[in-house]
């Protein structure tokens, strides 16, 4: 039990259903759907739609989505709802036109949005309500307005110059050329009309017809390659999640093109080297987690891509022999300088999880990648187009090299842990590249260190920046930082939180759901 003399939150405990999202309005949307008789799938999609309005820099219908769904009987389904590069994309064009690496903003970073198709497929297979009901709150907030929350306002203000540089963004995402302040009302009437069209006529109203034509014309009008044919071809894929054993649980991640295999490699290294048994807040624990993560991320950046172009299978990357060879590079005493560090990208994402009264669990993540995605917004329909193409490389012959119709290596990943054949923990974190590290850290907090879901999420984090220096959150004491320096690390103040996160534990023994929510954002968990 936490120290009630200190600031913090207790976990939320309920019986009939639980939702945890990064924003109170979205959690309220999910809970209302559950109370009306909707299931966890219905509630998750409704919450995500609300987030597309009230956290517009973090997510949107112009982005992608990944889902892990565990049915009450323990059957598990994965959904890869990520879009592909335009068919006309050619890495040689980028190299010939002076691009040393993939652009992170503008039309040349745009990939087709996969989220709406993923939502549609989820509803068709597992939902009980239609878009007309599930979009009701999102449409109301878009048309009538919503109060901008504190964390949203803080983030929004950072991107005003870029938003001013795009016609559609300036129209739809600014008030008199500025970001809205916390506590002010903001509206997205054009986005509300687009949501109404999808609610009325389904996902094809987004991928075909006037809305799709405008998306393609907006990109092509600025020299990009997205076509109406690219949008009409969008199709989410049902996939079998990958799994490894950790601490008596089977931990599930979506296979590539996502980076979930990175989290599983890290967990395997932690299990093999007893990292979870190290003292909770010790320098040794942080050191070993970081060193194992640097190895796992190096594997990711060399080998993980669209599965069609990977040179090693996920099963090979998780094999005993591969983990043994990786682990040989770990030292409990010193940082290994020979590990090749990947380039880091910071992204804006929403993660949410819902469990219903039948114990159907949904682990759900939706994103436009960077804040407001590509910073390109369609002028009439108000859609912020994602910049997921920025995850490709232009390195010739690399598995993740840009290619027409190809999916990029993807950072957003949901997670699930099973026990005795049923869902036991539905969880995820935010923060782009941080996510595999975050999955391993918060799950170890829960399983190895006996924390409740809220404590597991609250616990201080560190992660490296572009230059390899460790960015330590404020809760990591000076002595721990000094001990890490003595082990060969460079450490500085993070200056910003690493991600956020949500977690729901299904306590079958007592019949309750126990949840924690996003302490680094405006997160909220509610049950009934």
Q: Single out the residue of 410, 129, 97 nearest to residue 253, CA to CA.
A: 410
* 398 alpha carbon, distance to own chain's centre: 24
Q: 220: number of CA atoms within 13 Å, CB side?
A: 15
Are the C-beta atoms of residues 294 and 464 closer than 8 Å to each other? yes
User: d(Cα 88, Cα 431) in Å, to the nearest integer?
Assistant: 30
Structure-token match 């998780």, residue found: 318
Structure-token match 């990786």, residue found: 326
The size of the chain, in residues, is 528
- Per-position b or e across 22-47, b if 16+ CB within 10 A of its CB: bbbbbbbbbbbbbeeebbbbbbbbbb
User: d(Cα 168, Cα 344) in Å, to the nearest integer?
Assistant: 29
According to DSSP, residue 514 is labeled E
User: d(Cα 217, Cα 226) in Å, to the nearest integer?
Assistant: 8
Beta bridge partners of 516: 503
Are the C-beta atoms of residues 525 and 18 closer than 8 Å to each other? yes
Structure-token match 């987004």, residue found: 206
User: d(Cα 472, Cα 527) in Å, to the nearest integer?
Assistant: 33
How many C-beta atoms surround the C-beta of residue 95 within 10 A? Answer: 14
Region of 109 please: left (phi>0), alpha (psi -120 to 50) or beta.
Answer: alpha
The Cα angle at residue 81 between residues 75 and 87, in degrees rounded to 5: 140
* 135 alpha carbon, distance to own chain's centre: 21
* 311 alpha carbon, distance to own chain's centre: 25
- Per-position b or e across 137-171, b if 16+ CB within 10 A of its CB: bbbebbbebbebbebbbebbeebbebbeebebbee
Q: Single out the residue of 180, 158, 177, 182 nearest to residue 166, CA to CA.
A: 177
Structure tokens at 87: 């068919």
Give the DSSP H/E element, type plus range, for residue 96.
helix 91-96
> In whole angstroms, how far apart are CA 133 and each of 29, 32, 141, 196, 273?
11, 11, 14, 11, 49
Q: How far apart are the first and last CA of the chain?
A: 22
Q: Which residues are catalytic?
A: 349
């Amino acid at each position: 039990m936490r120290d009630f003399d200190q600031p913090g939150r207790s976990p939320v405990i309920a019986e009939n259903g639980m939702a945890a999202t990064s924003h109170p309005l979205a959690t309220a949307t999910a809970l209302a759907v559950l109370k009306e008789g909707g299931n966890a799938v219905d509630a998750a999609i409704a919450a995500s739609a609300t987030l597309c309005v009230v956290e517009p820099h973090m997510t949107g219908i112009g982005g992608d989505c990944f889902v892990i769904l565990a049915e009450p009987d323990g059957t598990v389904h994965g959904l890869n709802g990520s879009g592909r590069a335009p068919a006309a994309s050619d890495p040689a064009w980028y190299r010939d036109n002076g691009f040393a690496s993939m652009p992170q903003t503008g039309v040349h970073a745009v990939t087709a949005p996969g989220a709406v198709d993923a939502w549609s497929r989820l509803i068709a297979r597992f939902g009980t309500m239609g878009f007309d009901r599930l979009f009701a709150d999102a449409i109301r907030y878009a048309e009538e307005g919503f109060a901008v929350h504190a964390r949203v306002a803080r983030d929004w203000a950072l991107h005003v110059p870029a938003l001013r540089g795009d016609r559609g963004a300036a129209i739809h995402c600014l008030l008199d050329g500025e970001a809205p302040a916390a506590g002010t009302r903001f509206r997205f009437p054009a986005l509300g009309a687009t949501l109404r069209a999808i609610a009325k006529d389904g996902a094809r109203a987004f991928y075909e017809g006037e809305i799709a034509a405008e998306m393609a014309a907006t990109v092509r009008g600025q020299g990009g390659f997205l076509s109406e044919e690219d949008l009409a071809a969008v199709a989410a894929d049902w996939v079998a999640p990958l799994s490894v054993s950790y601490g008596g649980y089977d931990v599930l991640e979506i296979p590539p093109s996502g980076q979930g295999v990175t989290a599983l490699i890290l967990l395997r290294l932690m299990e093999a080297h007893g990292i979870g048994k190290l003292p909770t807040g010790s320098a040794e624990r942080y050191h070993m987690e970081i060193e194992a993560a640097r190895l796992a991320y190096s594997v990711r950046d060399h080998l993980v891509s669209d599965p069609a172009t990977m040179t090693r299978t996920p099963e090979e990357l998780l094999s005993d022999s591969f983990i043994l060879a990786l682990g040989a590079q770990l030292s409990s005493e010193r940082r290994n300088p020979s590990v090749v560090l990947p380039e880091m990208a910071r992204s804006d994402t929403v993660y949410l999880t819902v469990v219903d009264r039948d114990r159907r669990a949904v682990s759900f993540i939706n994103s436009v990648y960077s804040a407001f995605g590509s910073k390109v917004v369609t002028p009439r329909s108000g859609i912020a187009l994602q910049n997921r193409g920025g995850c490709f490389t232009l390195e010739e012959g690399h598995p993740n090299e840009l290619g027409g119709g190809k999916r990029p290596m993807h950072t957003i990943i949901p997670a699930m842990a099973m026990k005795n054949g049923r869902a036991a923990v539905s969880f995820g974190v935010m923060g782009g590249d941080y996510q595999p590290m975050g999955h391993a850290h918060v799950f170890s907090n829960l399983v190895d260190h006996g924390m409740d879901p809220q404590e597991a999420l609250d616990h201080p984090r560190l992660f490296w920046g572009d230059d390899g220096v460790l960015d330590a959150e404020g809760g990591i004491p000076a002595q721990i930082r000094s001990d890490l320096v003595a082990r060969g690390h460079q450490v500085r103040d993070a200056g910003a939180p690493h991600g956020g996160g949500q977690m729901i534990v299904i306590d079958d023994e007592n019949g309750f759901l126990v949840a924690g929510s996003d302490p680094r954002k405006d997160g909220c968990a509610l049950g009934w």
